């Protein structure tokens, strides 16, 4: 049964900014978590057009917003409006979580923690001997590169389809401590890379609902993935994606994107509430209920 939520003059504000933002799942999991904790907070979606970002942030400060999440297209554009940016967010060049601390906005990136969480909790491996192959060179790939670096992968290969965007991706890390931790490759090089992969990550949107029949790899390309490798798709609907189905046929271990979504949200909530314990299981369950998915299938 849903507990009654009473919004009063004391209710504290959290939220997510994006454009568009109406499909964001963050309000679902955060409001369930806040209700579960019995805290007088509400988490709202704020659609903010790029040209209004600075005004919106100033308005948030004026009305006492405690913190907010950031989604497309503001993850990089927000940087100039923050007083402090944590080293992890600086290294990636993108912020997904902002909190108000001492009357200033502080930005960090919890996508890295979210990405790593299912790898660390499920598979205790010595990553120092392992090879990661990352498909795609967009925003999410940045957090995945940082995550793989944090885990200490021996080799990290980022594979993209567009030479110019790949080079831009490469150069965007020039001032980052992570710049020499990975190599970039064109899509044609996949036949050489896939047989070496211990971790294969899909950060492209290929295969995302409603285009569920697609995969970033052909069956022939996937046939070269070593059995026992980990295939990790950042997409969380459908569950499983075509990419993960192909990988499982090869005897690979499959991880979908739901846990990353849950764990990056849990990490953000810990920052805003200044507490270590947040109801992660309730957050995961809220998303599964909302998306109409069970544990598997
Ligand atoms: P993005 O910035 O638009 O990047 C998408 C990347 O995919 C780009 O490098 C793009 O290549 C590549 N791509 C797109 N279509 C392709 C194709 N047909 N063939 C080869 N490459 C293709 O998007 P994003 O923010 O990184 O998000 C990517 C995916 O990750 C989305 O499905 C998103 O839902 C998911 N995601 C999940 C989580 C989570 O918590 N689970 C978090 C973040 C993102 P070009 O550069 O050449 O255009």
Q: Give the residues surrounding ligand 1 with Cβ less than 6 Å away.
A: 72, 111, 114, 136-141, 160-162, 165, 203-206, 208, 216, 234-236, 257, 260-261, 264
Residue 1 has pLDDT above 70, yes or no: no
Q: Please check whether residue 226 is in contact with residue 197, taking contact to mean a CB–CB distance below 8 angstroms.
A: yes
Residue 294 has pLDDT above 70, yes or no: no
Ligand 1 atom 18 nearest Cα? 206
Band (293; pLDDT cuts 50, 70, 90): confident
Residue from 136, 142, 262 to probe ligand 1 pocket by mutation (most atoms less than 8 Å from CB): 136
Ligand 1 midpoint to CA 290 (Å): 23
pLDDT score of 295? 54
Q: Which atom of ligand 1 lies closest to the CA of 257?
A: 41
Q: Is the pTM for the entire model greater than 0.85?
A: yes
Angle at 285 between CA 18 and CA 239, to 5 degrees: 75
Ligand 1 midpoint to CA 135 (Å): 9
Ligand 1 atom 20 nearest Cα? 161
Q: What is the pLDDT of residues 116-167, one digit of tens each?
A: 999 998 777 889 999 999 999 998 999 999 999 999 999 999 999 999 999 9
- Positions marked catalytic: 75
Domains observed in the chain: 12-109+259-291 (3.40.50.10860), 113-256 (3.40.50.720)
pLDDT score of 297? 40
Other beta carbons less than 10 A from residue 278's beta carbon: 20
Q: Please check whether residue 135 is in contact with residue 200, taking contact to mean a CB–CB distance below 8 angstroms.
A: yes
Q: Please check whether residue 117 is in contact with residue 263, taking contact to mean a CB–CB distance below 8 angstroms.
A: yes
Over residues 162-182, mean pLDDT? 95
Q: What is the pLDDT of residues 186-239, one digit of tens each?
A: 999 999 999 999 999 999 999 999 999 999 999 999 999 999 999 999 999 999
Phi–psi pair at 70, nearest 5 degrees: -130, 130
Residue whose pair of structure tokens reads 């459908």 in the numeric block: 238
Q: What is the pLDDT of residues 244-260, one digit of tens each?
A: 999 999 999 999 999 99
Ligand 1 midpoint to CA 204 (Å): 3
Residue from 188, 205, 262 to probe ligand 1 pocket by mutation (most atoms less than 8 Å from CB): 205
Tell me the H-state helices in the chain: 26-37, 53-63, 87-92, 111-122, 139-151, 163-171, 190-193, 219-222, 242-249, 258-273, 280-291
Q: Which atom of ligand 1 lies closest to the CA of 205?
A: 32
Other beta carbons less than 10 A from residue 250's beta carbon: 18
Q: What is the pLDDT of residues 41-78, one digit of tens each?
A: 999 999 999 999 999 999 999 999 999 999 999 999 99
Partner residues linked to 106 by β-bridges: 84, 99
Angle at 143 between CA 117 and CA 61, to 5 degrees: 100
Residue whose pair of structure tokens reads 């909530």 in the numeric block: 269
Ligand 1 midpoint to CA 108 (Å): 21
């Amino acid at each position: 049964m849903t507990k009654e939520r009473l919004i009063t003059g004391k209710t504290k504000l959290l939220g997510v900014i994006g454009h568009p933002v109406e499909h964001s799942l963050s309000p679902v999991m955060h409001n369930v978590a806040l209700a579960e904790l019995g805290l007088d907070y509400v988490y709202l979606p704020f659609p903010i057009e790029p040209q209004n970002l600075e005004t919106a942030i100033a308005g948030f400060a004026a009305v006492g917003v405690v913190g907010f999440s950031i989604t497309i297209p503001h993850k990089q554009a927000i940087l100039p409006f923050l007083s402090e940016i944590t080293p992890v967010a600086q290294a990636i060049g993108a912020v997904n979580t902002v909190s108000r601390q001492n009357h200033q906005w502080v930005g960090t990136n919890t996508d890295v923690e979210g990405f790593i969480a299912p790898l660390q909790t499920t598979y205790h491996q010595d990553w120092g001997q392992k090879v990661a192959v990352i498909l795609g060179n967009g925003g999410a790939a940045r957090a995945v590169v940082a995550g793989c670096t944090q885990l200490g992968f021996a080799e990290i290969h980022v594979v993209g389809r567009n030479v110019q965007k790949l080079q831009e991706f490469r150069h965007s890390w020039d001032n980052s401590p992570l710049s020499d931790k990975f190599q970039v490759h064109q899509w044609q090089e996949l036949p050489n890379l896939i047989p070496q992969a211990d971790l294969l990550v899909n950060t492209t949107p290929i295969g995302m609902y409603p285009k569920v029949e697609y995969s970033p790899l052909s069956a022939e390309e996937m046939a070269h993935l070593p059995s026992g490798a980990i295939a990790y798709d950042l997409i969380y609907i459908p569950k499983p994606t075509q990419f993960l189905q192909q990988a499982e046929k090869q005897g690979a271990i499959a991880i979908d994107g739901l846990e990353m979504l849950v764990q990056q949200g849990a990490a953000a909530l810990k920052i805003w509430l200044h507490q270590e314990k947040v109801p992660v299981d309730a957050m995961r369950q809220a998303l599964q209920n909302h998306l109409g998915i069970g544990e598997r299938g």
